[in-house]
Amino acid sequence: MRTLTYAQAVNEALAQALELSEDVVVLGQLVDTSGVFGTTKGLVEKFGKKRVQDFPVSENLMTSAGMGAALAGMRPVLVHHRLDFMVYAMDPIVNWLSLWRLKSNGQSRLPVTIRTVVGKGWGQGPQHSKSLHGWFAHLPGVNVAVPATAHDAKGLLLESIFGETPTIILENRSLFSMEEVVPENPYRIPFGQAAIRRRGQHVTVAALGIMVPIALRVAKQLAEESIEVEVLDLRTVSPLDRDTVLKSVAKTKRLVVADPAWRSVSVAAEVIAFVSEKLGRDLASNPTRVCFPDSHTPMSAPLEASFYPDDAAMLSAIRSVL
Amino acid sequence: METITHAAIRQSGRYSRLKIEGLSMELLRGLYRGMVRLRRCEEALMVQYRVADEIRCPVHFTIGQEAVPAALGLLLRKDDFLYSHHRCHGYFLAKDAPMGALFAELFGRTTGANGGLAGSQEISMPSHNFFSGAILSGALSLAAGSAFAFQYKGDDRVALAGFGEAATEEGIFWEALSYASVRKLPLVYICENNLYSMYSAQVNRQPADDLSKRVQAFGVRTFTLFGNDPVAAYEALREAIEYARKGGGPCFLEFYTYRINAHVGPESDDYINYRPADEIEFWKSNDPIALFEERLDHAGLLGRSERELIVAEIDEEIDEAFQFARNSPMPADVDLEALSRSCESPFAERHLPLSSVGDFDETQPVAVLAPY
C-alpha cells in the first residue's frame, strides 16, 4: 500500500496524463522551474519544454489560448500558483469557456483543465487566499472540483484532463503535505459523486476541501459520546451530488454544511437551499453553516488563525443542530 | 500617400491606385464575386430584417467593408482556423460556410449554424473551423491558442482573427501579440480600422492613428493598407498567410476602411451625428465594389453582362438561403442544462478505471506552512 502526499498525487496525475496522450500540455508560470509546490516537479525533465511550458504573466491570455488550443484538438492543463491571479482570466472563463458548448449547439468540446492553488496560512493575506469555487460553480457549463485528499486530487485531475468539459480544480495549499494511499495506476473519479467518508445516523456534515479533515476529526471525537456523525465530502461543487446529501439528511434529519469560503451566497447556502426544498419539513433542527466570515483574510497571525474555522467551531456547529 | 492614416487617406482624395493589370481572370472574378456576394447578402438581410420580424437578434452589417473578406475567402484553407467578432458575416462567408446556415441562424432555426442558439454576433461553424463572439478581443486571443496548437503539432495550418481597431484597446490584444511574437506563432491578425467604435472616433480613444507602428514594437511583421482595394488586400493577405504558414511568425495587417451602415441594425444611426456628412460621402465615393468595377470597365474585363450573370447567381443563392431559413423549424424542447455541459468522457472511460473513495487518515497533521 503506497501512500503519496497530495502534491505528489497531483504530480503523478500530470505525469500519467502527459504519458497517456500527446494532446496534453501543461502551461503556467514557472511550471518548468518552480515545481509549483511539488506538483509539477520533474515533469520538464521527463517530458521536455514542449510539453511543460512556462507561460508569460498573462493569465487572461493563457486561459483563452488554452481554449483556442482545445478547439484545435488539444487537452491543455493551465496552472496558477494562486487563484487570485486567475481573476484576470474571468473573461475567457465566463464569456467563452462556460457558454461555448451551448452556443455551439453541442458541437464543440473543450477539455480545458484549470488547476489553481488557494493559499492558507503564513500571512497569505487577502490577495493570496481566496477560494472562489462558489463563483465558478454559479456558472453553467464549467465543472468545479475542490479535492480534499491525495486520492481524489489524482482521480479528479485525470478525469478532468480526459473529459470534455472545461474544469476548474481548486487545491488548498495547506493540504499539499497530507498523505493517503494512492493507487499507482492512472484512474478517474467522476464529477458529481460525493464521498461518504464516515457513516453515522445522528447528523450529516457535508464538507468540502480543508473542512473535510476537520469534520472527520470532530466526528471521531463525538463518537466517544455515542454521537454518530455522517461525514460527506462533496468533492465537486459543479456538478453537485445532491442525491447523496439528500439521502443522508433524510436519515439523520440534521445538517451542517462546512464550506471553506465566505458564508453568504455560497455553496453552503446552495446545499441548505436544496435540502430545505426537498426535506424542509422533515428536518429536526435548523441547518447551519461553518464558513469563513464575510470578510477578506487578514494577514496578522492571530487574526488569520481566528478567521479560519477550527475543530472547536465545527464541534459547536454540530452541537447546535443536535 | 507615405504614411497611411485616416487623415492622409482623406487628404489624398479619391483612391486611384487600384491595379488589376496582370491578374488572372479567375482572381478578378473571385474578388468581384466575393464582394458582391457579401454586399447583396447584407442588403437583402437589411430589407428583410423588419418585414415579418423574423430576425430577432442584433446584427452588425458590414456594407463598405467587403474587400478584405472577399480577398480572404480566396486564400484560406479549409483546415485553417478563422476567428471573428460581432461584424462577422463577411468572415463567415469567407470560410466557405453555407449562406443557408447563416440565414437560418439569424432566424433562430434548428438548421442554423448553431441551431439558432448563437445568432449573428456569436455564430460559429466548427465543421468549417469558423468561430466568432461578441466580446471584443476574446476571439483574437483564442486564435493565439489555436496557432499554438498548430505549431505544437507541427501542422502547417494558420490561425487568423479579424477585428476592428477598437479591439486593440483591450489589454488582451497586447498580451496575445507579445506571446505570438515570443513563440513565433502561425497567427495572422486582420485589423479593419473603420475609424469608429460604435459612435466614438479612434482619435477619442487612442493616442494616435498609428496602430501598425505600435504593433511593430512587439517584433511583429505589419502591413498597412487602404482597405477598400481588394487587389492590394489579396496580395498583402497572401504574403502574410504564407509567411505565417512557413514559420516566419505572426503578422498584423491594418486595413483602413469605413462602415457605411449603422453600428447595429438595418436603419441608419447617422441621426446621432457622430460622424461628419462629408466623411461619409468621401467613403461612399471610395466604395470597394464601385472602385473595382471602374477598373474592370477601364480594362474591358468582366463586362456588364458577365457581372449581371454573377449577380443573378448570387441572388438565387440568397433566395434559397431565405427559403431554407423560413422553411426550417424553430427549436423546441431543447434541454438547455444538458446542452450546457457534456457529462460524457469517452476518452477517460476508455483509458481509465473508476476509483471511488480512498482511505483517508484524518488524524494526520495539516501542513504547517514554511515561509514561501
Q: What is the CATH number of the domain that holds B144?
A: 3.40.50.970
The residue of chain B with its CA nearest to that of A219 is B362
Residue B320 lies in a domain: yes
- pLDDT for B368 equals 55
Report the residue of A34, A54, A62, A64 to disrupt the B interface, i.e. the one with the largest count of B CBs within 10 Å.
A64
Q: Are B114 and A103 within 8 A, CB to CB?
A: yes
Which single residue is written with the C-alpha cell 483543465?
A113
The reply to whether residue B150 touches residue A106, judged by beta carbons under 8 angstroms, is no
pLDDT band at B1 (very low <50, low <70, confident <90, very high): low
| A143 backbone dihedrals φ, ψ, rounded to 5° | -85, 140
Confidence band (pLDDT; 50, 70, 90) for B237? very high
Contact yes or no for A71 and B364 at CB 8 A: no
In terms of Cα–Cα distance, which of B139, B117, B116 is closest to B129?
A: B139
Task: Measure the CA–CA gap between A39 and A81, rounded to whole angstroms.
Answer: 10
B261 assigned to some structural domain: yes
Interchain pair A64, B138: CB under 8 A: yes
CA–CA separation, A319 and A195 (whole Å): 23
Where does A125-166 show beta strands of DSSP type E? 143-145
Q: Among candidates A209, A205, A208, A207, which has minimal Cα distance to A178?
A: A209
Distance between CA A235 and CA A217 in Å, rounded?
Answer: 18
CB B68 within 8 A of CB B96: no
The count of CB pairs under 8 A between chains A and B is 228
Interface predicted TM-score (ipTM) of this complex, two decimals: 0.96
Can you list the domains of chain A with their CATH numbers? Answer: 3-181 (3.40.50.970), 195-321 (3.40.50.920)
This prediction's pTM = 0.96
Using an 8 Å Cβ cutoff, are B134 and A125 in contact? no
In a domain, B352, yes or no: no
pLDDT value, residue B359:
78
Instruction: Tell me how far apart the alpha carbons of residues A149 and A141 are, in angstroms, rounded to a whole number.
Output: 25
CA B293/CA B74 separation, integer angstroms: 19
Task: Give me the number of domains chain B comprises.
Answer: 1
Interface-testing mutation among B345, B349, B363, B372, with chain A (most A C-beta atoms within 10 A) = B345
| C-alpha separations of B269 from A68, B55, B277 in Å | 35, 19, 12
Gyration radius of chain A's alpha carbons: 19
pLDDT score recorded for residue B358: 77
Q: Which residues of B touch A106 (CB under 8 A)?
A: 339, 342
Compare all CA atoms of chain A with the CA of B371 and give the residue at the minimum distance.
A122
Residue B171 CA: distances (Å) to CA of B175, B187, B193 = 6, 18, 18
Sign of dihedral through CA atoms B87, B90, B93, B94? negative
Closest among B96, B115, B94 to B106, alpha carbons compared: B115
Question: What is the domain range of residue B309?
Answer: 6-346
Partner residue facing A69 (CB), from B114, B146, B337: B146
Report yes or no on B217 lying in a domain: yes
Closest Cα in chain A, distance from residue B37 (Å):
25
> Taking a C-beta distance cutoff of 8 angstroms, is the pair A127, A84 a contact?
yes
Tell me, yes or no, whether B86 lies in a domain: yes
Would B218 be classed as within a structural domain? yes
| Residue found under cell 441548505 | A272
Give the tens place of pLDDT for each residue, B42-84.
999 999 999 989 999 999 999 999 999 999 999 999 999 999 9
Assess if residue B372 is contained within a domain.
no
Pick from A284, A290, A281: nearest CA to A308: A290
Q: Is the pLDDT reported for residue B178 higher than 90?
A: yes
**Which positions of A are annotated as active-site residues?**
128
Do B133 and A105 lie within an 8 Å CB cutoff? Answer: no
Rounded Cα–Cα distance for residues B150 and B144 (Å): 10
Structural domain includes residue B108: yes
Amino acid at B169: E
Mean pLDDT by 10 residues, chain A (322 residues): 95 98 98 95 98 98 98 98 97 97 94 97 92 98 97 97 97 95 95 95 98 96 98 97 97 98 98 98 98 96 95 98 97
Assign B371 a pLDDT band (cuts: 50, 70, 90). Answer: low
The DSSP secondary-structure symbol of B371 reads: P
Cα distance from B4 to chain A (closest Cα, Å)? 30
- With b for 16 or more beta-carbon neighbours within 10 A and e for fewer, the B218-244 pattern comes to bebbbbbbbbbbbbbbbbbbeebbebb
